[in-house]
Amino acid sequence: MYISLLLLSLLATGGRSNTEPPAAGSDGLFCLSLHAEIEPTGSTQTKESAEAKERVETKVSVRAVFDRRDSVEVEKLLADRSLNTSLDFARKLKGRPYVAHTLEAADPERVVVNLRGLDCATLVETASALALTRREGGSSFSDYCRRLERIRYRNGKCAGYVSRLHYLTFWIDDHLKRGTIEEVRLPQKLTRPLHVKLHYMSRHAEAYKMLKNRPERVAEIAAWERKHSGAAGRFLPKRHTGGSRQELGSIRDGDIIVIVTDKSGLDYSHQGFAAWGKDGKLHMLHASTDFKRVIEDERPLHDYLQRIPHNRGIRVFRMK
């Protein structure tokens, strides 16, 4: 049974970042439904609705905003039984354009699904959610959306803009608490203590579409920043990331690498998946701002990190 769509004209600027301020994006017209089933066609023949009819929102146990092409691709990927790990799925996304701020698509907050343009965070979320869906026996788009919500939001529930885990420190602490990730233990003698002092978002609220003129949200973000500031475990300085697989053997293909930054008010600047190269060195599959697309970087991670003075080193995590 199909239920007629409720058509709403909604201009939404695309955007997504963990902590970087949104840049201006192209406007998009969304076709929304709050029903359990959807029919992405309608009788309205306006130019706007014709352009928008492929974009839908539906309650699939969560309220998700997506393009029909994304739902089709998710189910196609889940149907490919040769794909099992996060790295398997991430490799199927190589070549996708780098697009930041895609999550700033709806207010109130919705679970945005977009496989057509990815940044470093949405790549990791997307591939991890696909792998989790596969591991837990899911095969439908709604199965995937539920896993994506669990990964992206505090306590696994989308409960507004502030519930999104904007900083990687938020994400790490929340998932460690829930037991959904574990930290990969790197050689103790090579690591150094890490302290973070978070304040970037609350002090640059005007740069964020969803924080502008929303002092109550800024106050909530600031409270979470204070809560998560302080000692944050240990990290591997970048000078030690060029070690052999024998030296850094605790890191496996598909582990999540997060890059520690010394930029004021921030914690981490980038993330991606570990991929050991044929050269015996650690590489990273990531959404590259240099190449403007998802790549499995030919540069060893050590060389990549050395290029950027603000990069201090890495931490590594594994989805359970």
Helix/strand/coil (H, E, C) string of the chain?
A: CCCCCCCCCCEEECCECCCCCCCCCCEEECEECCCCCCCCCCCCCCHHHHHHCCEEEEECCCEEEEEHHHHHHHHHHHHCCCCCCHHHHHHHCCCCEECCECCCCCCCCCEEECCCCECHHHHHHHHHHHHHHHHCCCCCHHHHHHHHHHHHEHHHCCCCHHHECCCHHHHHHHHHHHCCEEECCCCHHHCEEEEECCCHHHHCHHHCCCCCCCHHHHHHHHHHHHHHCEEEEEEEEHHHCCCCCCCCCCCCCCCEEEEEECCCCCCEEEEEEEEECCCCCEEEEEEECCCCEEEECCCCHHHHHHCCCCEEEEEEEEEC
Domain total of the chain: 1
Q: What confidence score (pLDDT) does residue 19 get?
A: 60
Residue 270 is assigned to a structural domain of this protein? yes
User: For residue 218, what are its two tokens?
Assistant: 């800024």
Amino acid letter at 97?
Answer: P
List, in order, residues 6 or more apart from 290 with CB less than 8 Å away: none
User: For residue 14, what are its two tokens?
Assistant: 């695309």
Q: What confidence score (pLDDT) does residue 273 get?
A: 99
Say how far apart CA 52 and CA 126 lie, in whole Å.
Answer: 24
User: For residue 222, what are its two tokens?
Assistant: 């600031």
Residue 83 is assigned to a structural domain of this protein? yes
Residue 51 is assigned to a structural domain of this protein? no
Residue 157 is assigned to a structural domain of this protein? yes
Q: What confidence score (pLDDT) does residue 222 get?
A: 99
Q: What is the CA radius of gyration of the chain?
A: 20
User: For residue 143, what are its two tokens?
Assistant: 């199965």
Q: What confidence score (pLDDT) does residue 249 get?
A: 92
Residue 59 is assigned to a structural domain of this protein? no
Q: What confidence score (pLDDT) does residue 62 get?
A: 82
Amino acid letter at 277?
Answer: G
- How many other C-beta atoms can be found within 10 angstroms of the C-beta atom of residue 162? 21
pTM of the predicted structure, to 2 decimals: 0.85
Q: What confidence score (pLDDT) does residue 39 get?
A: 31
Residues of the chain with pLDDT under 50: 1-17, 22-45, 48-53, 59-60
Residue 23 is assigned to a structural domain of this protein? no
Residue 259 is assigned to a structural domain of this protein? yes
Say how far apart CA 225 and CA 247 lie, in whole Å.
Answer: 35
Residue 53 is assigned to a structural domain of this protein? no
Domain carrying residue 287: 64-319
Tens of pLDDT, residue by residue over 131-144, are: 999 999 999 999 99
Q: What confidence score (pLDDT) does residue 311 get?
A: 98
Look up the CATH number of the domain holding residue 119. Answer: 1.10.3670.10
Q: What confidence score (pLDDT) does residue 71 get?
A: 98
Q: What confidence score (pLDDT) does residue 8 get?
A: 26
